[in-house]
C-alpha cells in the first residue's frame, strides 16, 4: 500500500493540472505585458497604462485559475504531492514575481538608493517562504484544511493588483500618481503583505464551500450583493473585497468561537449529514 501511495504522488491529473497551467500562463503573460508597458513608458509612447491594466487582468485571471485547480482536484479526489508542488511553482510566478515586478515598474523604480527593488524583492522572498512553509506542513499533514496560516499569496497578489487597478483608474484623471501618495501606499502595502504572508495569523480557506453548501437567506443575500457590486464596480470593489479578507485575519483572534464558526463553517446538505 505504501508503494502504491508513493506511485500516485507522481501522477499528473489532467483537469487540475490544466487549471494550474492556466494560472502559470496568465502569470507569464502578465510579466510580458508589464515589460511592454515599461518600454512604452520609457519611449514616451501611448498605451502604457492600457498595457499595465492588461497585466492586472492576467494576474486576476491567474487568481481564478488558482481557485479552480484546488477545487477541481478536491472534487475529483485527485490531490497529490505533484499537484501541490506544481501549484506552488505557478503561484510564485503569478502571485510573487508578477505583482512585485508590476509595482516596481509603476512606482518603486523611482525610489532612491535602490529602496524600490529592495521592497519588491522582500515581497517576492516572503511569498516564496510562505509557499515553502505551506508545502512542508501539507506534506506532514499538519496543515489545517479549514484555515491558512499566514496571508495566502494569491490573496496578497489580488490585493496588490486590485488596489493598483483602482489607482491607475484615478491616474487617468490625476497625473500625480507617481509623485503623490499612491506610490507610498503601494510600497507600504508590499512590506505589510510580506510580513503578513509569513505571520502566524490564520485566515479561513473556504475550501469546504461547494455545491452542497447551505447558507441562511440573509447570508445568501449578503454574498449575492457582494458579488453583484464586485461585477458592476470592479475597479474599486475588488480592492474592498481583498482588503476585507486581509483585515478579517487581523481581527479574527478577537472574535468569540461562536462568531468564528458562524462566519467560517460551511454546512453540508442535511440529508447527506444524516445518512452518515
Going by C-alpha positions, the residue among 109, 114, 100 that lies closest to residue 160 is 100
Helix (H) or strand (E) holding 149: strand 147-149
Separation CA 266–CA 260 (nearest Å): 11
Band the pLDDT of 144: cuts 50, 70, 90: low
Question: What is residue 224's predicted lDDT score, i.e. its pLDDT?
Answer: 84
State the average pLDDT over residues 172-185: 65
The model's pLDDT over 247-262, given as tens digits with 9 standing for 90+, comes to 998 988 887 777 766 6
Going by C-alpha positions, the residue among 236, 155, 163 that lies closest to residue 196 is 155
Going by C-alpha positions, the residue among 88, 87, 80 that lies closest to residue 128 is 88
Band the pLDDT of 174: cuts 50, 70, 90: very low
Asked if pLDDT for residue 1 goes beyond 60, the answer is no
The model's pLDDT over 120-129, given as tens digits with 9 standing for 90+, comes to 999 999 999 9
Return the CATH fold of 9-275: 1.20.120
State the average pLDDT over residues 68-93: 82
- Look at 201 and 269; give whichever has higher pLDDT: 201
- Residue % of the chain over a pLDDT of 90: 41
Q: At what angle do helices 181-197 and 153-171 cross, to 10 degrees?
A: 180
Lowest mean pLDDT among 4-13, 46-55, 152-161: 4-13
Note the pTM of the prediction, 2 decimals: 0.84
Question: What is residue 222's predicted lDDT score, i.e. its pLDDT?
Answer: 80
Do the Cβ atoms of 60 and 161 come closer than 8 Å?
yes
Name 147's bridge partners: 204
- State the distance between the two ends of the chain, measured CA to CA, in whole angstroms: 26
φ/ψ of residue 79, rounded to 5: -70, 140
Which region, left, alpha or beta, applies to residue 173 given φ > 0 means left and ψ of -120 to 50 means alpha?
alpha
- Return the domain boundaries, the chain: 9-275
What is the SS3 string spanning 177-204? CCCCHHHHHHHHHHHHHHHHHCCCCEEE
Do the Cβ atoms of 99 and 59 come closer than 8 Å?
yes
Lowest mean pLDDT among 59-73, 75-89, 226-240: 75-89
Separation CA 141–CA 143 (nearest Å): 6
Do the Cβ atoms of 153 and 34 come closer than 8 Å?
no
Separation CA 83–CA 31 (nearest Å): 23
Amino acid at each position: 500500500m505504501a508503494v502504491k501511495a508513493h506511485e500516485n504522488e507522481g501522477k499528473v491529473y489532467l483537469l487540475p493540472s490544466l487549471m494550474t497551467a492556466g494560472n502559470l500562463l496568465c502569470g507569464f503573460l502578465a510579466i510580458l505585458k508589464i515589460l511592454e508597458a515599461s518600454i512604452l513608458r520609457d519611449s514616451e509612447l501611448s498605451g502604457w497604462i492600457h498595457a499595465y491594466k492588461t497585466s492586472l487582468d492576467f494576474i486576476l485571471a491567474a487568481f481564478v485559475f488558482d481557485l479552480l485547480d484546488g477545487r477541481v482536484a478536491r472534487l475529483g479526489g485527485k490531490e497529490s504531492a505533484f499537484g501541490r508542488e506544481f501549484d506552488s511553482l505557478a503561484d510564485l510566478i503569478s502571485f510573487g514575481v508578477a505583482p512585485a515586478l508590476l509595482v516596481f515598474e509603476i512606482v518603486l523604480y523611482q525610489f532612491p538608493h535602490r529602496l524600490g527593488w529592495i521592497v519588491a524583492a522582500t515581497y517576492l522572498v516572503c511569498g516564496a517562504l510562505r509557499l515553502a512553509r505551506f508545502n512542508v506542513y501539507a506534506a506532514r499533514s499538519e496543515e489545517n484544511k479549514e484555515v491558512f496560516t499566514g496571508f495566502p499569496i494569491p490573496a496578497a497578489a489580488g490585493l496588490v493588483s486590485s488596489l493598483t487597478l483602482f489607482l491607475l483608474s484615478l491616474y487617468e484623471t490625476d497625473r500625480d500618481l507617481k509623485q503623490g501618495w499612491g506610490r507610498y501606499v503601494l510600497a507600504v502595502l508590499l512590506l505589510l503583505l510580506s510580513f503578513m504572508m509569513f505571520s502566524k495569523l490564520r485566515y479561513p480557506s473556504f475550501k469546504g464551500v461547494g455545491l452542497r453548501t447551505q447558507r441562511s437567506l440573509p447570508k445568501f443575500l449578503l454574498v449575492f450583493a457582494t458579488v453583484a457590486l464586485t461585477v458592476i464596480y470592479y475597479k474599486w470593489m475588488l480592492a474592498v473585497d481583498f482588503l476585507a479578507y486581509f483585515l478579517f485575519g487581523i481581527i479574527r483572534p478577537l472574535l468569540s468561537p461562536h462568531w468564528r464558526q458562524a462566519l467560517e463553517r460551511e454546512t453540508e446538505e442535511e440529508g447527506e449529514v444524516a445518512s452518515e
